[in-house]
Amino acid sequence: SEVNIALSGTEDIEKNGEYVFIKAFADHLNANGMETKVHPSDSLGKEKERFDQLSQGLIQVNLGNTGVLFKLAPVTKGLLLPFMFSDNANFDESINRGKIIEYVNEQVAPHGIRLAGFPMRGGGMGLFNSKHPVAKIADVADLRLRAKDGVQIKLFEAWGSEGTVVSWAEVSNALQTGVADGYFNPPASALLFGHTSVLNNFTPLNAGPSARVALLSQDWYEGLDDKTRAIVDEAVAKGIAANRVWAEKWIESAMTQLQEQGVAITELEPGQRELFAEASKKIWGEVINEKDLAILKNAAMN
Amino acid sequence: MMSVANFIRKTSDFGDKVIGVIAMLFLGVMVYVIALQVVARYIFDSPPPWTEEAARYAMVWVGLLGATVSFKAGFDPVLARMPKSLPWPLQFLAGLVRWAALLLFLLPILWYSFFGPGVNFTRGFLSRNWYLEAETFEISTFFVAIGVPIFIICILLHAVAQSLSPKNTNRGSEENDSL
Amino acid sequence: MSAMIPLVFLVVATLCGTAIAYLVGGSAVIGFIISDNSNFLAALPQRVFSQLDVFAFLAMPLFILVGELMNRGGIADALIRFSLTILGRFKGGLGHVNILTSVFFAGVSGSATADAAALGNTLVPVMEKQGYHRNYAVAITAASSIIGPIIPPSIVLIFYGALMNTSVIALFAAGIVPGLLLAVMLMGINAFFAHKDNHPGGRDAEIPDFLPAFTHALPALSLPVIILSGILFGIMTPAEAAAMAAVVAALVGFLYRELKLVDVIAAARRTVILTGAIFVILVAIATFGYLSALEQIPQRLVASIAELGLGQTGYLLVVNLVLLVAGMLMDVKAAVALLAPLLVPPALLLGVDPTHMGILVGFNLTVGLLTPPFGAVLLILSTVTNVNYWVIVRAVVPFLIAELIFLGFLIFVPDISLALPRALGYLS
Ligand code: NA
Ligand code: NA
C-alpha cells in the first residue's frame, strides 16, 4: 500500500526545504519499489490535524512544526530557544551528541509517533523591522516587535525592546498599519509572505536554525519488515542530507533576494551577538523544565 | 410513572435549555476576552498572550453547542421542503432518509471521538487531546475536544425526542423560513 | 459508477427535506466508504475541531451579535434616519451604502463568508426596515461581499503572491481597478433595480430634518466609526472591532432606553443559534473537502486539463471553470494554496501575465462563493437572514451573471488589471 506524506507547504523544490526533504525521501522509497503519495499545501489539514492523523496511522509521514511535540516530549520546547544553537551544523552536532532524537522517541512512541529528523526551513533566526537598521542591542529599544506568544514578549523585554502578540494571520496587517514594527523570524518568513515591502531592515542574529520535524507513524514503522525499515531509515538520511545541502544554497540566495526586494541587511557589531545571547538566556528557564534544559545545554555545550 | 418517551422528551427539552445558557456564557467569554485584549493593549500596554486562543476555544464551544440549539429549534437550513400534504408512508420514508443522513454523518464522528486504531480507547480523539496542550496556556485541549461528542449526543437525543412526538415538533417562533 | 451513489443520496436526501449540513455530511461519509477510505473517517472528530478553531472566524459570531444588539437597541433605526437625511434623495441609496461598505470591509477580514454574515445581520435588517424587499437586500449583500478580496488589502492576493513568487504590491495595484469597476457595475445594477422596482428614496421621499436626526444618531454613529476606523487604521483586528462594537452597541442601546436585559439575552441566544447553524454547515463541507483532498481530485482535474492541449483562451476558460467550482467547495485560501501552483504555471507558459493571473484566480474563487448549490456566502446568508435558499439564489442570479460577464472582460482585456501597476512602475 502507498505511503501518504503530508506537508504544509507547496511542492516547490527551490523554495521549500521541507519538500526538498520529501523529494529525496520519496525518491528513495520509489526506487525501492514503494509507492508514495504526497499531500501538499495543508490539503489534509493544518498542523494539529496532520499530527493527529499521523498518530492514528492514517498517514505515514508528516512534516510539522516542533510545537506539536511540546506536550508529549517537553524537551522539544528547547529546540527553538533563541541562541541555544547557532546554525544548522551546530544544531545537528548537538542533537547527535545529546541523543535528543532517541530521547524524544522514548516519550512519543506510546502515542504512535516517531521522530525521524529535523528538516530545516532555511536561514537562521534574525530580526526584521520597518524603522531603522539594527547593529547593536541598544537599537531595538524603540521597536515594538510582533510576538507569537508570551515567551517572546519576555524575550523582547529582556532585549530592552517591547512585544505585542499578533497571530500570524494578522501579521501583514499589523506590519502595514504599524501595530508592530518588526519580528524575530528567519528570512524565509518575510520572503514567502511578501512582508519585504514593509520590513526594509534585516539583521542576521544567528540565533538558531528554524527547524521543523519529520514524523513517522510508529504503527507503520514498527509493522515494516527489517529490510523495508532499513530502506525507510536510508530515505530519511538522504532526505536530511539533501535538505542541508539545499539550506546552504538557499541562505545565500535569500540574502540576494532580500536585497533585490529593497531590504537592507545589517550585520551586528562585534560583541553584540553575545549581548543578545546573554539577554536571551534569561528566558530559557521560563520555556523548558530544568532537567530538559540541562540535557540540551550539555548537548549544545552551552 | 413516566414513560420512556416522555423521559427522553423531558431530557431533551431540559438539556436544550441548559446547553443554550452555557453557549451564551461562552459567547460572553468571547466578547470579554477579546475586549480585554484591546483594553490591555491600549490602556495597560501589555496584552495578555492567551486571549486570542482562549477566544477561539470559546468560539468552538459556541459553535458546537449552538449547533445543537439550532437543531432543536429546527433552524438548520434545508434546500427543499417536504409538502405537508404528502401521504404518511412517503412522510415516513422521508423521515427514515433524514435519520440515515444524520446517523451517517454523526455516528463515525462519535465513535472515533472515543476509539482510536484497533478500538483502542487510549488512542481515541479524546485521549489524544488529553496529551495535547493549548499553545498559550497550560490546559489540555481535551477540555475543548470533549465538545465534539457532547454536540453529537445532544443532537441524537433531540432527534429521538422529535421522532417520538412528531406532532409536538412545533418549531415555534425561531423556525427558519428556509426550512 | 460508484461515484454516483453519494450524488444520488445527496439528491434524495435533499428532496426528503434533510438539513444542508446533514445531507452534505452524510453523502461525504458514503463517499469515504465507497472510495475505500473508510479508515480515514477516524480523522473526522479532529477535523470538526480544527475546522471551527480558526482565527478568521472569530469576527463572525461577534458581528452577528453586534447586528442583533443594533436591531434591538434602536441603533439601527437611528442610523437609518440619519442616513436618510443624506441618501434619501437618491433612489436605492442604502443599496449603494451596502456596496461601498463591502469595498472597505471584506478584504480586511480575509473571509468573504464572515463579511456576508456580518452585513447580512446588520445592513439587511436596516434595508428591510427602510422598505427594501428582503430578498433584494440579501442579494446585493451577497453580490458585493466578494469585492473586498479583490481591492487591497487582500489576504487571497498576499497568499497568491507568496506562492507564485509574484510581487504582492503589483498584485494589489492590479486589483484596484477591477475591484472599483466591479463596485461601479454593481452600483449601476442597483440604480437600475432601484428605478425599475421603485426602491425607497428619490425626489419625493420624505427626508427627516438633518440636525435632530444627527443628534439622535450621534451615539449610534460610534459603531460604524469603531468598526471602520478600527479596522482600516490597524487599531484593532476585525474580531477586536466586533467585540468592542458589541459592548458599545449594548451601552448605546441602554442609553436609548430601548435595550433591556431580556433583549441582550435574546440577542445572545439568536447569535448562538446562527453561529451553530453556520458552523455545522462549514464542518460538513470540510468533510467533503477532506475526501477530495485524500483522493487528490483537484490535482487529477488539473492533470486532465493539461491533456486537452488548449490554447491560451481555451485554457483560461477551463481554468476559470475549475476555480469557480473549487471556490464553491473549498475554503478560498486552501484553494489558492492547492490549485495556484498547479494551474498557474501552464498559463504562464501560454503567455498569461502572472499578475493578471493572480487577479483572475482571486476573483474566480470568490465568485465561487456565490455559485449554487454550495456557495458558502449563499448558505450563510440564507441562515442569517431567514430567506429561503433558492429565493436567494434566484435573487442573486442577475448579479452573478453580471459578475461572470465582468470576469469574461477581465480574461480578454488584461489591461483592466495591468494598466495601473504598469503606470506605477511595478511591472515592466
Ligand atoms: Na480588500
Ligand atoms: Na455589501
Query: Rounded to a whole number, what is the distance in Å from the CA of B2 to chain C's nearest CA?
Result: 31
Lowest mean pLDDT among B75-79, C34-38, C402-406: B75-79
pLDDT of residue A9: 84
Task: Compute the distance between CA of residue A151 and CA of residue C382 in angstroms, rounded to an integer.
Answer: 43
Residue C178 corresponds to which cell in the numbers above?
A: 477591477
Q: Phi/psi of residue C309, each to 5°? A: 60, 50
Instruction: Give the strand order in the sheet containing A264-265.
Output: A162-165, A144-147, A182-185, A126-129, A201-204, A264-265
Residue A36 corresponds to which cell in the numbers above?
A: 508514495
H or E segment and range at residue A31? helix A17-31
The answer to whether A164 contacts chain B (CB < 8 Å) is yes
Q: Which of B34, B57, B116 sits opposite C240 (nearest CB)?
A: B34
Give the mean model confidence (pLDDT) for residues B104-123.
Answer: 91
Residue A267 corresponds to which cell in the numbers above?
A: 550585520
C46 → chain A, closest CA residue: A49
The answer to whether C423 contacts chain A (CB < 8 Å) is no
Q: Which amino acid belongs to residue B44?
A: F
pLDDT band at B35 (very low <50, low <70, confident <90, very high): very high
Q: Please indicate whether, in this complex, the C-beta atoms of C26 and B77 are within 8 angstroms of each other.
A: no
Centre of ligand 2 to C-alpha C408, Å, is 22
The ipTM assigned to this model is 0.88
Is there a contact between B147 and B48 (Cβ–Cβ < 8 Å)? no
pLDDT band at B168 (very low <50, low <70, confident <90, very high): very low
Lowest mean pLDDT among A192-201, C82-91, C107-116: C107-116
pLDDT band at B1 (very low <50, low <70, confident <90, very high): low
Q: Please indicate whether, in this complex, the C-beta atoms of B132 and A71 are within 8 angstroms of each other.
A: yes
The answer to whether A89 contacts chain C (CB < 8 Å) is no
Distances (CA, A) of A59 to A79, A227, A288, B108, C414: 25, 21, 30, 18, 43
Lowest mean pLDDT among A41-50, A114-123, B165-174, C368-377: B165-174
H or E segment and range at residue A279? helix A272-281
B46 → chain A, closest CA residue: A164
Query: Rounded to a whole number, what is the distance in Å from the CA of C29 to chain B's nearest CA?
Result: 6
Write out the DSSP string of B33-102.
HHHHHHHIIIIIS---TTHHHHHHHHHHHHHHHHHHHHHHTT-S-BSS---TTS-HHHHHHHHHHHHHHH
Centre of ligand 1 to C-alpha C181, Å, is 14
If one compares C288 and C105, the residue with the highest pLDDT of the two is C288
pLDDT of residue B2: 66
Residue A33 corresponds to which cell in the numbers above?
A: 519499489
pLDDT band at A302 (very low <50, low <70, confident <90, very high): confident
For residue B70, give the nearest of C371, C407, C272 by alpha carbon: C272
Residue C169 corresponds to which cell in the numbers above?
A: 504590491
Neighbours of chain B (3+ CB pairs under 8 A): A, C
Residue C154 corresponds to which cell in the numbers above?
A: 487582500
Task: Compute the distance between CA of residue A137 and CA of residue C306 in angstroms, rounded to an integer.
Answer: 54
pLDDT of residue C232: 61
Which domain range does residue C73 map to? 4-423
Q: Please indicate whether, in this complex, the C-beta atoms of A111 and B135 are within 8 angstroms of each other.
A: no
pLDDT at A231 over 50: yes
Residue A15 corresponds to which cell in the numbers above?
A: 523554495
Task: Compute the distance between CA of residue C408 and CA of residue B25 in angstroms, rounded to an integer.
Answer: 48
pLDDT of residue A26: 98
Query: Rounded to a whole number, what is the distance in Å from the CA of C380 to chain B's nearest CA?
Result: 9
Contacts of A145 (CB under 8 A, 6+ apart): A127, A129, A152, A156, A161, A162, A163, A164, A180, A181, A182, A183, A184
Cis peptide before B108 (omega within 30 of 0): no
Cα A71 to its chain centre, rounded Å, is: 17
The answer to whether A48 contacts chain B (CB < 8 Å) is yes
Contacts of A283 (CB under 8 A, 6+ apart): A82, A151, A154, A155, A158
pLDDT at A165 over 50: yes
Is there a contact between C120 and C245 (Cβ–Cβ < 8 Å)? no
pLDDT of residue B177: 33
Q: Which residues of A touch C108 (CB under 8 A)?
A: 173
Distances (CA, A) of C309 to C305, C314, C322, C357: 8, 9, 16, 19
Q: Identify whether C237 is part of a domain.
A: yes
Is there a contact between A293 and A78 (Cβ–Cβ < 8 Å)? yes
Q: Where are the beta strands (DSSP E) in B95-178?
A: none
pLDDT band at A103 (very low <50, low <70, confident <90, very high): very high
Which of the given ranges, A67-76, A172-181, B77-86, C377-386, has the highest pLDDT on average? A67-76
Task: Compute the distance between CA of residue B114 and CA of residue B144 in angstroms, rounded to an integer.
Answer: 14
Q: Identify whether C320 is part of a domain.
A: yes
Is there a contact between C340 and C354 (Cβ–Cβ < 8 Å)? no
In which region does residue C81 sit, left (phi positive, over 0), alpha (psi from -120 to 50) or beta (all else)?
A: alpha
Q: Identify whether C392 is part of a domain.
A: yes
Q: Which of C231, C236, C294 to mutate to test the interface with A (most CBs of A within 10 A)?
A: C294
pLDDT of residue B175: 39
Q: Identify whether C105 is part of a domain.
A: yes
Q: Which of B37, B50, B78 to mutate to test the interface with C (most CBs of C within 10 A)?
A: B78
Lowest mean pLDDT among B54-63, B77-86, C198-207: C198-207
Q: Please indicate whether, in this complex, the C-beta atoms of A219 and B133 are within 8 angstroms of each other.
A: no
Facing residues of A292 across strands?
none
Q: Please indicate whether, in this complex, the C-beta atoms of A45 and C43 are within 8 angstroms of each other.
A: yes
pLDDT band at A283 (very low <50, low <70, confident <90, very high): very high
Task: Compute the distance between CA of residue C148 and CA of residue C172 in angstroms, rounded to an integer.
Answer: 12
For residue C181, give the nearest of C408, C406, C411 by alpha carbon: C406
pLDDT of residue A105: 98
Q: Which residues of B touch A153 (CB under 8 A)?
A: 46, 49
Lowest mean pLDDT among A95-104, C9-18, C21-30, C87-96: C87-96
Q: Which of B49, B131, B132 sits opposite A149 (nearest CB)?
A: B49
Centre of ligand 2 to C-alpha C102, Å, is 4
Q: Is the pTM of this model over 0.90?
A: no
pLDDT at C331 over 70: no
pLDDT band at C233 (very low <50, low <70, confident <90, very high): low
Give the mean model confidence (pLDDT) for residues C297-314.
Answer: 81
Facing residues of A215 across strands?
A62, A115
For residues C111, C114, C117, C122, the Cα torsion angle rounded to the nearest 10 degrees is -100
Instruction: Give the strand order in the sheet containing A3-6.
Output: A36-39, A3-6, A61-64, A213-217, A113-117
Centre of ligand 2 to C-alpha C104, Å, is 10
pLDDT of residue C405: 93
In which region does residue C313 sit, left (phi positive, over 0), alpha (psi from -120 to 50) or beta (all else)?
A: alpha
Closest ligand to the CA of C149: 1
Give the mean model confidence (pLDDT) for residues B16-40.
Answer: 95
Distances (CA, A) of B73 to B61, B166, C267: 18, 13, 15
Write out the DSSP string of C270-300.
HHHHHHHHHHHHHHHHHHHHHHHHHTTHHHH
Bridging pattern class, strands A126-129 and A182-185: antiparallel
Q: Which residues of B touch C56 (CB under 8 A)?
A: none
Q: Identify whether C428 is part of a domain.
A: no
The answer to whether A13 contacts chain B (CB < 8 Å) is no
Coil/strand/helix, residue B104? helix
Q: Identify whether C20 is part of a domain.
A: yes
pLDDT of residue B169: 45
Q: Which of B37, B131, B138 to mutate to test the interface with A (most CBs of A within 10 A)?
A: B131
Query: Rounded to a whole number, what is the distance in Å from the CA of B122 to chain A's nearest CA?
Result: 9
Centre of ligand 1 to C-alpha C106, Å, is 6
Q: What is the DSSP letter of B29?
A: H
Centre of ligand 2 to C-alpha C99, Å, is 4
Residues whose CB is under 5 A from ligand 1 (ion)?
C 107, 148, 151, 154
- Indicate the number of domains in chain C: 1
pLDDT at B121 over 90: no
B127 → chain A, closest CA residue: A111
Q: Identify whether C407 is part of a domain.
A: yes
Cβ neighbours of B103 (radius 10 Å): 16
pLDDT band at A142 (very low <50, low <70, confident <90, very high): very high
Helices and strands per DSSP (H, E), number in chain C? 20, 0
Lowest mean pLDDT among A102-111, B162-171, C182-191, C238-247: B162-171
Closest ligand to the CA of C155: 1
pLDDT at B178 over 90: no
Q: Identify whether C172 is part of a domain.
A: yes
pLDDT digits (tens, 9 = 90+) for C56-92: 778 888 988 988 888 788 887 787 778 778 777 788 8
Centre of ligand 2 to C-alpha C269, Å, is 25
Q: Look over chain A and give the mean of its residue pLDDT values, rounded to a whole number.
A: 93
Closest ligand to the CA of C105: 1
Centre of ligand 2 to C-alpha B118, Å, is 51
Q: Please indicate whether, in this complex, the C-beta atoms of C108 and A173 are within 8 angstroms of each other.
A: yes
pLDDT digits (tens, 9 = 90+) for C134-168: 999 999 999 988 887 787 767 678 778 877 778 77
